[in-house]
Amino acid sequence: MQPVENQTIMITGATDGLGKKVALDLAARKAGVIIHGRNPRKGAAVVKEIREATGNPKITNYNADFSALDEVRMLAGKIRADQDRLDVLINNAGIGPGPDGSVREESKDGYELRFAVNYLAAFLLTHLLLSLLRDSAPSRIVNVASAGQQSIDFDDVMLESGYDGLRAYRQSKLALILFTFDLAAQLKDSGIMANCLHPATLMPTNMVLETDYFSGSIDAVSQGAEAVEYLAESAALDAVTEVKPALDSFGAQTPMPVAPGQ
Ligand SMILES: NC(=O)c1ccc[n+]([C@@H]2O[C@H](COP(=O)([O-])OP(=O)(O)OC[C@H]3O[C@@H](n4cnc5c(N)ncnc54)[C@H](OP(=O)(O)O)[C@@H]3O)[C@@H](O)[C@H]2O)c1
């Protein structure tokens, strides 16, 4: 890969929590950082904060609400039009389980909301940016998943019966992991590495603080950021394109699958 200061790195959901910390760290290393968010005012404030903290002017903000696939398409179009290269795409944006007892919600396209935001949006964005990643190879895709997973009922993927927020979150994360397996296989020999990870357990971010499925936090946001940055930047992973097994459970109902060939 290019030296980090020559790279352009896009982080979805970088306006808060884990994504914001990763953006700050990579900006401090002088990378060009694309901050994706859904709230333009919040995005602009994060850009200003990171520029001031790091002295790095190469921080830009793009907005798209991932509960609408058309917004994902428009986002990808703008990135392709504006950017000469994309070295790393970090699919981090997500919504958590919500409070216990929450009612089922739908995306603007009529899909179960967590499945749409946490999985469908990342799937679509990745495919729409593949040509740019391919032109910038060697490049990387990092999918921020979770050790919290739930098997998917293919007769009720949209969770129309027996909805539960934790189940919705977990099945969306399993879908993202399975997507990463397929992607890694499809991109073999393309110079684009695709990996996913459980970043850390119960970091005190908005999605954890707003849920009552769990009480308290365990790991620091900086621990999760370190794990994401390792997959994004470590030279030890040049040419590694596989899914690592989870190290802990985070209430997982199914074990993190191991990559084909492992
Ligand atoms: N926290 C943990 O312990 C933990 C554990 C395992 C995995 N993870 C994963 O880590 C990733 C980051 O989560 P976090 O803990 O940092 O949570 P967070 O602080 O709630 O951040 C989530 C980010 O996603 C954005 N987002 C949410 N809904 C969106 C939508 N509809 N369209 C576009 N952007 C949207 C948020 O934007 P706003 O700033 O506008 O809200 C925010 O930037 C997630 O994929 C999560 O599943 C977290």
| Per-residue pLDDT reduced to its tens digit, 74-108 | 999 999 999 999 999 999 999 999 999 999 999 99
Note if 213 is an active site residue.
no
Tokens of 187: 């991109």
Tokens 């794990």 map to which residue? 227
| Active-site position among 62, 163, 169, 213 | 169
pLDDT at 242: 62
| Per-residue pLDDT reduced to its tens digit, 46-76 | 999 999 999 999 999 999 999 999 999 999 9
| CA distances from residue 13 to 32, 121, 157, 207, 215 in whole angstroms, order as listed | 16, 12, 24, 12, 24
Would you say residue 254 lies in a domain?
no
Q: What is the DSSP string of 87-136?
A: SEEEE-------STTPPP-B-TTSSBHHHIIIIIHHHHHHHHHHHHHHHT
Model confidence at 179: pLDDT above 90: yes
Give the number of the atom of ligand 1 that is nearest the alpha carbon of residue 201. 3
Would you say residue 43 lies in a domain?
no
| Per-residue pLDDT reduced to its tens digit, 30-42 | 999 999 999 999 9
Query: In this structure, which amino acid lies at residue 52?
Result: E
Mutate to test the pocket of ligand 1, among 25, 92, 115 (most ligand atoms within 8 A of CB): 92
Would you say residue 39 lies in a domain?
no
Question: Helix (H, G, I), strand (E, B), or coil: what is residue 197?
Answer: strand
What is the CATH number for 200? Answer: 3.40.50.720
Q: Does residue 202 line the site of ligand 1, with CB under 6 A? A: yes
| Per-residue pLDDT reduced to its tens digit, 238-257 | 877 764 544 443 443 333 43
Q: Does residue 209 line the site of ligand 1, with CB under 6 A? A: no
Average pLDDT of the chain to the nearest whole number:
92
Q: Cβ distance 121 to 108 under 8 Å?
A: no
Enter the pTM of the model.
Answer: 0.94
Would you say residue 181 lies in a domain?
yes
Number of domains in the chain: 1
- What confidence category does residue 158 fall into, taking pLDDT thresholds of 50, 70 and 90? very high
Tokens of 40: 């333009």
Would you say residue 255 lies in a domain?
no
Would you say residue 27 lies in a domain?
no
pLDDT at 241: 74
Would you say residue 210 lies in a domain?
yes
Would you say residue 73 lies in a domain?
yes
Residue-range definition of the domain harbouring residue 191: 7-19+64-237
